[in-house]
Structure 1
Amino acid sequence: MVNTLRGHDCVRNGQCQVNSAVFSPDGQTILTASRDKTAKLWDNDGNLITTLNQDSCWHVHIKDYHCGLTSAVFSPDGTKIITTSKDKTAKLWEHNGELIHIFNGHSDWVNSALFSQDGDQILTASEDGTAKLWNKDGNLIKTLKGHSEAVKKALFSPDGNHIITVSDDNTAKIWDL
């Protein structure tokens, strides 16, 4: 082991489960997302750079952790971050922690999100059984319906012409864009 990243707040809710961790595209920064309703940026030495707060839901169902973050990812160029949450939203942030846009439209937790390879589109997957394709300005392009249970992940194909979704209904579905 090289390092341990510590700093998510276990005091607020008694648990600080870290739900995702990814390296930035250049490998110089690490992004973590936690049940404590924060995403944190770290340098490779484990020093905290900044914290993105999911303030919009801090007052809601604290004991049930309904607003904890479920994932966080970098844009392909590393300048933007998208977080997903149990508050039914995805949020687009500048690398410095400034909130750019809130993606509303799911009726249940948002499990994951992903940028397209060019960074112009965002794909979200939700407990509501759908995946949604958005432009980076927050406009909904398409809703992918067809699963009978939660969609855990949605991914772009390498050529950008298809999306694959995986669900708790024990299926993976391929969609045309």
Structure 2
Amino acid sequence: MANGKLQTTLKGHKSAVLTIAFSPDHNLLVSGSADGQIKIWRWDPFASNYVPQRTLNSHRDAVFALDFSTYGQKFASASADDTIKIWRYNSDLSKTIKAQMGGVFGLSFMPKGKLIAVWGGDGTVKGI
């Protein structure tokens, strides 16, 4: 980034990438796409080739947002399928929350807290 030149490219999604998030320690990157997939990547800015470590296929529609918790033990995903999913990095899906808001377009963990703010197609912001 310092020199303004492309440093690396991550290839693995088959449809448009809509969102990404870095873990707080900058060692992981998660990416979400229009086909509902989430890919987990080990981030190394000096790597010449990236391969996703895991692919998560739990959403039935586009993944619009991803965010890590403050300490990085978990991350959340928001989807057009009207769900928020909470994931633990080293395990499978932890929790699914049905939002009932016409698709979930964004989310953000509250710093150092357990609350997640979500917003969506019905014009509301909710705390979960």
Greater helix fraction, Structure 1 or Structure 2: 1
Name the structure 1 match of 2:28: 80
Name the structure 1 match of 2:83: 130
Tell me the secondary structure at the aligned position of residue 58 of structure 2.
coil
Pair 1:110-2:63 in alignment: yes
TM-score under structure 2 normalisation?
A: 0.88
Task: Give 5+ residue unaligned stretches, structure 1.
Answer: 1-42, 58-66
Work out the number of aligned pairs and report it.
Answer: 123
Decide which of 44, 50, 71 is 2:8's aligned counterpart: 50
Question: Using the alignment, how far apart are the partners of 1:111 and 1:138 within structure 2?
Answer: 22
Per-residue deviation at 1:159? 2.5
**Mean CA deviation greater in 118-127 or 93-102:** 93-102
Decide which of 114, 121, 131 is 2:74's aligned counterpart: 121
Q: Which residue identity lines up with residue 135 of structure 1 in the other structure?
A: R
Task: Give 5+ residue unaligned stretches, structure 2.
Answer: 45-49
Question: Using the alignment, how far apart are the partners of 1:48 and 1:84 within structure 2?
Answer: 21
TM-score under structure 1 normalisation?
A: 0.65
CA RMSD of aligned residues (A): 1.4
Question: Using the alignment, how far apart are the partners of 2:53 and 2:111 within structure 1?
Answer: 27
Please say which structure displays the higher CA radius of gyration.
1
For CA contacts below 8 A with separation 6 or more, give which structure has more relative contact order. Answer: 2
